[in-house]
C-alpha cells in the first residue's frame, strides 16, 4: 500500500445528514472528503472507507489521511512534518 496524498492539513468539517458516505482514503479525490473513484483510476491500491452516519450532525472528516480514527479527524495533521 502506498502513502495517501495529504488533501488538506486539517479536517473537512461538514454538516451531514443520516446516510452512507464513502470517505476518500487516497487523498486524490476532487470531491474531498468524499470518494470520486480516483483511487481506481490512479491504481493507488487504496479503497474508500464507507461509514454510516445515523443522525444529523457536524462531522470532522480527516483531511490529512493519517488519522488513527479514520475517517474522522483525531488531530494527526498537527503532528505531520511541514
Residues 10-41 pLDDT 10s? 999 999 999 999 999 999 999 999 999 999 99
Whether 4 is covered by a domain: the verdict is no
Whether 25 is covered by a domain: the verdict is yes
* C-alpha 49 chain-centroid distance: 8
Q: Quote the pLDDT of residue 82.
A: 81
* High-pLDDT (> 90) share of the chain, %: 95
The helix/strand/coil state of 22 is strand
State the pLDDT confidence band at 1, using cuts at 50, 70 and 90: low
Query: What integer best gives the mean pLDDT of the chain?
Result: 96
- What is d(CA 49, CA 62) in angstroms, rounded to the nearest whole number? 11
User: Among the residues of the chain, which ranges form H helices?
Assistant: 38-41
Where in the sequence is the domain holding 17, given as residue range(s)? Answer: 12-79
Cα angle value 35/39/17 (rounded, 5°) = 10
The total of structural domains in the chain comes to 1
Whether 1 is covered by a domain: the verdict is no
Whether 40 is covered by a domain: the verdict is yes
Whether 27 is covered by a domain: the verdict is yes
Whether 2 is covered by a domain: the verdict is no
- Residue of 38, 39, 29, 37 whose CA lies nearest to 8: 29
Give the pLDDT mean for 69-79: 97
Whether 30 is covered by a domain: the verdict is yes
Whether 58 is covered by a domain: the verdict is yes
Amino acid at each position: 500500500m502506498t502513502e495517501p496524498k495529504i488533501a488538506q492539513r486539517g479536517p473537512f468539517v461538514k454538516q451531514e445528514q443520516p446516510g452512507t458516505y464513502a470517505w476518500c482514503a487516497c487523498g486524490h479525490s476532487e470531491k474531498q472528503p468524499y470518494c470520486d473513484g480516483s483511487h481506481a483510476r490512479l491504481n493507488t491500491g487504496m479503497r474508500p472507507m464507507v461509514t454510516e452516519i445515523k443522525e444529523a450532525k457536524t462531522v470532522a472528516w480527516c483531511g490529512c489521511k493519517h488519522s488513527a480514527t479514520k475517517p474522522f479527524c483525531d488531530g494527526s495533521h498537527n503532528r505531520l512534518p511541514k
